[in-house]
Structure 1
Amino acid sequence: MDLFDTTSYFSSKVPVLATSKVLLKSAVCALASKHLRHLCRNMSQGGRNSKLLSSYIGLPSSNEEMWRYHSAKYYDQALNHLQNAVSTGSYCNSISDKEEMLAAVAILCAFELMDAPGSAWRAHLSALPLFHDRGVSATEHASVIIPQTAVKGPIFWSLARQDLLCAFISESPTSLDLKDMRLWQNAGLATDEKGSLLAYSPRDVMESQNSSGFEEDKKSNELTWILGKIANHITAGDALVPADNTLPRHQRPRIGLNQENILERWNILMNDLSNWNESLPQSFRATARTRRLGNVPPGFELSFDTFEQIWFDIPLCAATMQSYHQAKILLLANEPQESTAIRSTVSARLRSYRHALQEVIYHAREVCGISLANSTDSFRINSVQALFVAGQVFQERREQDAVLELLSGIERDFGWTTRYHVAKLNDEWMKGREGNHVDRDGHGHESNWFISTSSS
């Protein structure tokens, strides 16, 4: 949970707070218990002795059923404490209580996300409107408001990333209003009032930070905001009101935006992404590119050998650049066509399609190359969505096998469920081999490039 936070809020401050705050303690224990349950299950399924895990964590006994019980117990306790905090409204008048509550919500979101995401995960994200602190007014001339508490720092960005992932999975707009610039400025995003990212950080923001990694945090947070705008753009489609596109097909208005308007919006997002990439400090540039070295699982030597290993010094930067390549894939795969009223030759359009395909394959291979070289626990868990998006690009069996092994290895090593990603990719590839290029559900909706919403 601290991958994108150089202050390590969740691993350094939250355990201290949890010793005296029952809601936070219950949420932490629920997440830890569920993680251990998944690890015990995977060890058992892999034919390994669960006593190895007992020895590792320093407890006399450890098995899946024991941790299942503790996980359910602490989760139930956390929900009861959370419901009580909401009903009493204690968080409204106390910064400390608000910090505890939202930190617990972020942890419970991670608890749900460890399995196939469902309604319970999205329910926790309903706490997001709590971020709209209308009691704090901004000064007339301040372009950026300094975050004063963790509620508007690491907790905010942790939940913002959860909100973004939920938008991808549920094919719905983000819960957080990306056009509410005061909200995002208050969280530390350096923008002007029109929503354009500033090329530099204002002096007062820089002076408010002691962390040497603040610049890396800042650039990663900026990309999260841009990804949110990309998700909302794709979700909105050609609807005049973005929410209309989430309605059943027969209830949608018949009037929509023309292709020129959609293409203009797409070009703005592409420029935002390009400008962001050009503004990156040197720490976001790969330090080396190598061929795969060392031992790999039997049967996967050739599949891994098809990619370069792309190395970064800082895991945060590796994860951020992987998300950047994911964003490029999503935009390129959803590029609007120019209006048919614009005279264009068939050759010109086909050249455009071929160029887009080459670009998409390049970015998909970058996603996998970054995963092969950067193997910290937090990075690998965060890489699931990018790998899933990249996997849908590949047509070669070796590349597909490599993606499956990368995803399966995350669940095998960390207990973080990826089997539904694997099942969805296999289903997509099978349709591709059968020549079904467009998948539609019973209502005529095209499938998207995000993720399957079915549970494993």
Structure 2
Amino acid sequence: MPGVPSNKSCERCKKRHLKCDEGRPQCQRCIGAGVECPGYVQTRKFIDQGASVRRRYAPYQEPSAKSGDARNISHPHTAKAHSPAPEKEAPLVTSVQDQVQPQLPSPPSIVEAQPVARPNVPLWNNPPLGMPVLPQPPSSISSRSASMHGNDQAGYGSVQQPPSSASPSQSNEQEEFRDIFSELMTGTEHEMSFLVRYYADYLAAWLDLSDTGNFFSAYVPVRALDEDFLRDAIAALSAKHLAKMKGVTAANISGMFTSPPTMETYPNAQQVDWSLKAANYYYLAVSHMNSSISDYASVSSTAALESPIAIANQWLSLQLSQMERTPDKTLNEAVFKKAENLLTASTILTLYKILDEPGENWQSYLTGIKPLFSQILRLIGESDESSAHFFPGITAVFWNFARLDYQASYYNRLPTHLDPEDLVLWRAAGLSLDDKGNASSISSTHLFSREDTATNVLTRLLNKLTNFLAASKRSQLEHWVGRPSESPTSGTANAPSPSLEPTTATWLKLSFEFQSWVERMPETFRPCLRLERPKSVSSDAPPMPFPEIFYSLTSCASAMQQYHFGRLALSLNRPVDEVSGPATACDRLQGYRELTKEVDHRCREICGVALGRPRGAARVQMITLLYAVGQCLEKTEERHIVVDLLRGIEADLGWSTAMQVQKLKR
């Protein structure tokens, strides 16, 4: 099982649950990390070593809080003095709150924990019992902060570790104990509640950008009560994001006079190995996805490492084959709900994968989305349901993949997985298209508001645009080598559509579609606030070179940024027209000047929306756009602003932008 160290690993690899090459005198993982390998001491002790350990720590035990109120332990006035209890066997935990009360002590040595496998029952209502109570720490090692904005009562998230004069070995033991305590929390009612609440509060809005029905925010956490793989997928994404944010949450500063609820806090959150927990939950999610589509009680570890999209495709293939064997069978609502849940988990786990991946790698994680939706269309066609539209959850999944698809295509200049000319597919996703593929209207429907519809129409346009860019790159390669190149995608399922060949006619058609979109957009796509030359009132610094632009709706802010990005890409990639192109040097010079003005305008608008700092759902979508803008800017100040905006997204939201920053600096 991933994360389980071998008995011969070095001490550092064991503690971090990494595979060790057992090199002597130092393993390659330690050399690569630039740290000294601690060696291969094999001695290990268990957490509960019996009476000797309890005798050693009994004099230091702090009075326990009243059972049933986990937060009382943080209040210094609720404790009462007690003499050490006589030696007896460690009591069993009777509630999840009892598990999280003790502070983290420093026992002599701790055994490494294995990834925790959990039963296939809702753990929120069935917390594990029988876990030994962890001993209380010496007061000199750990203390609790008792103030938060003037309030005596601090939540779990406020636990601080003061400087200690402990020896290096004692510090290692403390860290090791924190690791084992953290692993014992895996899958508990408190931890799962904390991670699902974190997803609902911070991450789900990213996936509901063009869905005012809020499927990922409102429905997915409820469905996670009944689906193990959905619950584990949520936990994996939340844990990975917490790892990127160093365990810091906004729970302790969200209220002026109230302390956060228990489900919003986690003991010693900033010391927890969230990366390990994330990997554990990801493995469990994929394992449960596999077992849910298999007739066998368990699946192999190899099968558990399959792509979530591939697992969903396998299940859909199985349903279609059953339909072919029994033509009279009617698919019921449960089948489509299962399809929604599998596709939802695939979306969340794909986001888990790309969160810290460079943009060039995103496209590989989307492999399989075209057959995924093709099989969904076949499944709908074989049922008694209307074939006009996907179900709401599948529709929400589709638009998330469509946005990722065009952004991944832009980085690699490769065709998108989803063909923008497949009208049946895009109509099923909710667009109203005529026979030529033009959006016949931008209006509200039973699934979408006008803002949702406009945003989704633009997403399809951007997919068409990036396919046009991919075809332009292929055409340039053919021109350089003097013959048609063998494109890595030529003849494949996601080869570019012939209607998007890099000709002047295609370019003009795309430009007309973008102009038509902006002329028909709802009035909410106009900014409600705009500062042309923002200047700090607290310093003598000169005004900013870009405006600050604010939209009242997050989806509108994101859509307008993407619109300007599309117009920028079109301006920079107009094909050379030998017939109607500029005939003289003066004509060419005038064309260059007009192009420069157009590029400057689009860059100002994109940066202006970014400087207005919309909500996180819009900021995570602008990484690709800011990267494109950064390649067009020449002034040092403007370049610094774009770099700061990219770094701010990583610092505030956890999305990796280091690759884009490095490329812009080069």
Residues 343 and 367 of structure 1, relative CA distance in 2, 3 Å threshold? closer
Query: What are the equivalent positions in structure 2 for 1:372-451 lying under 5 Å apart?
Result: 372-427=611-666
Report the counterpart of residue 32 of structure 1 in structure 2: 238
- Aligned equivalents of 2:378, 2:587: Cα separation in 1: 52
Q: Which amino acid aligns with 1:390?
A: V
In the TM superposition, 1:113-262 aligns within 5 A as 113-117=354-358, 119=361, 122-132=364-374, 133-137=377-381, 146-201=388-443, 206=445, 208-209=446-447, 214-237=449-472, 252=485, 262=503
Q: Is the 8 A contact 1:105 1:125 kept in 2?
A: no
For residue 521 of structure 2, the aligned residue among 274, 277, 280 is: 280
Q: Quote the Cα distance in structure 1 between the aligned partners of 2:270 and 2:225.
A: 26
Report the CA distance between 1:54 and its aligned residue: 12
- Matching of residues 73-152 of structure 1 within 5 Å: 73-84=280-291, 85=293, 86=311, 87=314, 89=316, 94-117=335-358, 119=361, 122-132=364-374, 133-137=377-381, 146-152=388-394
Alignment of 1:323-342 (within 5 A): 323-339=562-578
**1:430 aligned partner:** none
CA distance in 2, matches of 1:216, 1:229: 20
Deviation sequence 1:178-226 (CA, Å, 0-9, x none): 111011011111110210111354xxx73x24x6xx1000000000000
Preserved contact between residue 247 and residue 274 of structure 2 (Cα < 8 Å)? no
Cα distance between partner residues in 1 of 2:428 and 2:623: 29
Aligned to 2:588: 349
Amino acid at match of 1:421: Q
For residues 343 and 162 of structure 1, the distance between their equivalents in structure 2, rounded to whole angstroms, comes to 37
CA distance in 2 between counterparts of 1:288 and 1:219 reads 21
CA distance in 2, matches of 1:15, 1:261: 45
Deviations 1:319-360 (A, max 9, x none): 100000111111111111221796711111221122012101
Is the partner of 2:273 in helix, strand or coil? helix
Give yes or no for contact 1:319–1:379 (8 Å, CA) kept in 2: yes
The alpha-carbon distance between structure 1 residues 343 and 416, as it changes in their structure 2 partners (threshold 3 A), is closer
Inter-partner Cα distance in structure 2 for 1:424 and 1:359: 24
Q: How much has 1:306 moved relative to structure 2?
A: 1.2
Kindly provide the CA deviation profile for residues 259-279 of structure 1, in whole angstroms up to 9, marking residues without a partner as x: x97111111100010000101
Amino acid at match of 2:274: W
Cα distance, 1:374 vs. partner? 3.4
Q: How many angstroms apart in 2 are the aligned matches of 1:278 and 1:120?
A: 32
CA-atom RMSD in angstroms? 3.4
CA–CA separation in structure 2 for the residues paired with 1:74 and 1:7: 28
Change over 3 Å in CA distance of 1:88–1:220 after alignment to 2:
closer
**Greater CA drift, 73-82 or 357-366:** 73-82
Q: Distance in 1 between matches of 2:471 and 2:537?
A: 46
**Structure 1 position 383, deviation (Å):** 1.6
CA distance in 1, matches of 2:624, 2:657: 10
Quote the offset at 1:79 in angstroms. 2.6
1:183 alignment partner AA: L
CA separation in 2, counterparts of 1:28 and 1:238?
38
Question: Scaled by the length of structure 1, what TM-score is found?
Answer: 0.78
Q: Which residue of 2 aligns with 1:72?
A: 279
Contact map agreement 1:286 1:310 (CA 8 A) in 2: yes
SS in 1 for 2:456: helix
Distance in 2 between residues matched to 1:79 and 1:124, nearest whole Å: 16
1:271 matches 2:512? yes
Structure number with bigger Rg:
2
Residues 226-284 of structure 1: CA distance to partner in whole angstroms, max 9, x if unpaired?
A: 000000011012768x9x97xx9987169xx9xx9711111110001000010111100
Q: Number of residue pairs matched?
A: 397
Alpha-carbon contact 2:606-2:626 (below 8 Å) kept:
yes
Specify which structure has the higher proportion of helix. Answer: 1
Contact in 2 for aligned 1:156/1:187 (Cα 8 Å): yes
- Contact 2:239/2:275 (8 A) holds in 1: yes
Q: 1: CA distance between counterparts of 2:664 and 2:263?
A: 34
Aligned-partner residue type, residue 240 of structure 2: K
CA contact (8 A) 2:389 2:430 kept: yes
- Give me the TM-score of the superposition, normalised by structure 2: 0.55
Cα pair 2:530 2:549 within 8 Å, conserved: yes
Structure 1 CA distance, aligned partners of 2:665 and 2:473?
30
CA shift for structure 1 position 20 = 1.0
> Relative contact order, CA 8 A, sep 6+: which one is greater?
1
| AA in 2 matched with 1:188 | G
Q: 1:156 to 1:134 in 2, by over 3 A?
A: same
What is residue 441 of structure 1 aligned with on the other side? none
Q: Calculate percent identity across the aligned residue pairs.
A: 29
Give 1:146 deviation, angstroms.
Answer: 4.5
Once the two structures are superposed, residues 58-82 of structure 1 have per-residue CA deviations (whole angstroms, 9 ceiling, x without a partner) of 0012246520111110111223334
User: 3-state SS of the aligned residue for 1:324?
Assistant: helix
Q: CA deviation at 1:314?
A: 0.8
CA–CA distance in structure 1, aligned partners of residues 434 and 653 of structure 2: 41
Give the direction of change, closer, same or farther, for the CA distance of 1:306–1:239 in structure 2 (3 Å limit): closer
Matched position secondary structure for 1:153: helix
Inter-partner Cα distance in structure 2 for 1:338 and 1:223? 27
> 2: distance between equivalents of 1:175 and 1:425?
27
Q: 1:343 to 1:169 in 2, by over 3 A?
A: closer
